[in-house]
């Protein structure tokens, strides 16, 4: 089906990235997104170093990648289990995990940042590696909502800085939004496009505006669904069923909030509200804040609006 053909296309595509583009990728942050980005990069022939401050997160990330690869292989290599096993082992062999980001970026072509959605944390990270990474290395952020230009502002490589916005679950979702700021060079933009395509994704180009294309539409929609729940207009299950069966969405908005992580959703809304206080669509949602303060972050923590 859709995923099978996508994966098949990826598996059949050359295992070596096109000449003169990205060969080694450092993915910083081994959570939901970082693990998926590391997987698709390695699955398509890139050498990958996955970095997290937390050793347990790295262990979990490798487990997630193994499970995801098995799903891929079960479908694509039904008749060739040997080839499937080879894909899994070769992909895993290409992924190295480390906790020291400064060591990781000494020799790399691309740094993909997928850490917590917080400008201060992202600034701290990029300023700590800017002088260490080679000159040619491109830095990108996978931010959902922050300004790429603002993230890049602490570096001396604004021409080699952009946004690559992947979607969750990365191995399945076919899109990457490619974001260039007014300072991103043409060469960097072309390399970001080539890398995204080399990992099997379809690209769209976006300006550096809040939420780019998808989240500018999706985040207010999810927030409105939670407000509907707060008002008691309908139950979570009914809101989800309504949007799945009445609008053809693969997941309802409440399920989707749990799936993307309530902390990430809350960070996005709080950040936008601070920046655009007069925009009613960006008003933070009290119920979301409450769940986050109780440690209920959605699927990744075992409970959000639903229990997992």
CA 105 to chain centre: 19
How far is 277 from 270, CA to CA, in rounded Å? 10
Number of residues that bind ligand CAA (CB under 6 A): 21
Of 47-66, binders to ligand NAD (CB under 6 A) are 51-54, 57
Closest by Cα among 228, 225, 281, 229 to 253:
225
What is the nearest approach in angstroms of ligand CAA to the Cβ of residue 180?
18
CA neighbor of 224 nearest in space, from 296, 287, 146, 293:
287
Exposed e or buried b per residue across 27-53, where buried means at least 16 C-beta atoms within 10 angstroms of its C-beta: bbbbbbbbbbbbbbbbbbbbbbbbbbe
Q: In this complex, which beta carbon is closest to ligand NAD, that of residue 127 or of residue 241?
A: 127
Per CB under 6 A, 144 contacts ligand CAA = yes
Residue 40 beta carbon to ligand CAA: minimum distance, rounded to whole angstroms: 10
Active-site annotation holds for 185: no
Identify what 53 binds: ligand NAD, ligand CAA, none; CB under 5 to 8 Å per kind: ligand NAD
CA distance 102 to 137: 13
- Which segment (70-78, 179-187, 192-200, 239-247) binds ligand CAA by CB under 6 A? 70-78
Residue 44 is a catalytic residue:
no
Q: Considering the complex, what minimum distance in angstroms separates the CB of residue 231 from ligand NAD?
A: 25
Judged by CB under 6 A, does residue 44 bind ligand NAD? no
173 binds, among ligand CAA, ligand NAD, none (CB under 5 to 8 A by kind): ligand CAA
What distance in Å separates the CA atoms of residue 256 and residue 266, rounded to the nearest whole number? 13
Interacting span for ligand CAA (CB under 6 A) from 68-76, 106-114, 150-158, 288-296 = 68-76
Distances (CA, A) of 279 to 77, 122, 125, 276: 49, 25, 30, 6
Binding at 28: pick from ligand CAA, ligand NAD, none (beta carbon under 5-8 Å per type): ligand NAD
Q: Is the dihedral of CA 298, 301, 307, 308 positive or negative?
A: positive
Q: Return d(Cα 290, Cα 296) in angstroms, integer.
A: 9
CA-based nearest residue to 146, from 168, 159, 134, 161: 161
Among the listed residues 23, 60, 75, 227, the single contact to ligand CAA using CB under 6 A: 75
Q: Does 125 bind ligand NAD (CB under 6 A)?
A: yes
Place of tokens 């936008």: 272
Q: Using CB under 6 A, pick the residue from 256, 262, 266, 269 that binds ligand CAA.
A: 256
235-264 positions binding ligand NAD, by CB under 6 A:
260-261, 264
Which residues are within 8 A (CB) of 205 and not within 5 positions of it... i.e. 6 or more apart? Answer: 177, 178, 179, 180
Beta carbons of 264 and 144 less than 8 angstroms apart:
yes
Residues that bind ligand CAA (CB under 6 A): 1, 3-4, 68, 71-72, 75, 144, 167-169, 171-173, 215, 218, 250-251, 256, 260, 264
**What residues act catalytically?**
144, 165, 177, 215
Residues that bind ligand NAD (CB under 6 A): 28-34, 51-54, 57, 101, 114-117, 121, 125, 142-144, 166-168, 260-261, 264, 300
């Amino acid at each position: 089906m859709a995923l099978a053909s996508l994966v098949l296309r990826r598996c059949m595509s050359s295992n070596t990235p096109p000449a003169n583009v990205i060969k080694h990728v450092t993915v910083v942050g081994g959570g939901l997104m970082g693990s998926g980005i590391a997987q698709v990069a390695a699955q398509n022939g890139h050498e990958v170093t996955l970095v997290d401050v937390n050793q347990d997160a790295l262990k979990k990330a490798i487990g997630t990648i193994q499970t995801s690869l098995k799903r891929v292989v079960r479908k694509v290599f039904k008749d060739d289990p040997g080839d499937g096993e080879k894909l899994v082992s070769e992909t895993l062999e290409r992924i190295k995990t480390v906790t020291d980001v400064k060591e990781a970026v000494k020799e790399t072509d691309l740094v993909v940042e997928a850490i917590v959605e917080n400008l201060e944390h992202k600034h701290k990270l990029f300023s700590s590696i800017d002088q260490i990474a080679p000159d040619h290395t491109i830095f990108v952020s996978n931010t959902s909502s922050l300004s790429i230009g603002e993230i890049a502002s602490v570096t001396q490589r604004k021409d080699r800085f952009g946004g690559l916005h992947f979607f969750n679950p990365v191995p399945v979702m076919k899109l990457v939004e490619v974001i260039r700021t007014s300072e991103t060079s043409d060469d960097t933009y072309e390399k970001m496009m080539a890398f995204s395509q080399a990992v099997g994704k379809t690209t769209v180009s976006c300006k550096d505006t809040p939420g780019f294309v998808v989240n500018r539409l999706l985040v207010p929609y999810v927030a409105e669904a939670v407000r509907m729940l707060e008002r008691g207009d309908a139950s979570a299950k009914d809101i989800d069923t309504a949007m799945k069966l009445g609008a053809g969405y693969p997941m309802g908005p409440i399920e989707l909030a749990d799936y993307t992580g309530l902390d990430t959703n809350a960070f996005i809304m709080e950040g936008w509200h601070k920046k655009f206080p007069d925009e009613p669509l960006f008003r933070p949602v009290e119920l979301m804040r409450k769940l986050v303060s109780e440690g209920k972050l959605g699927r990744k923590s075992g409970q959000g609006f639903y229990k997992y």
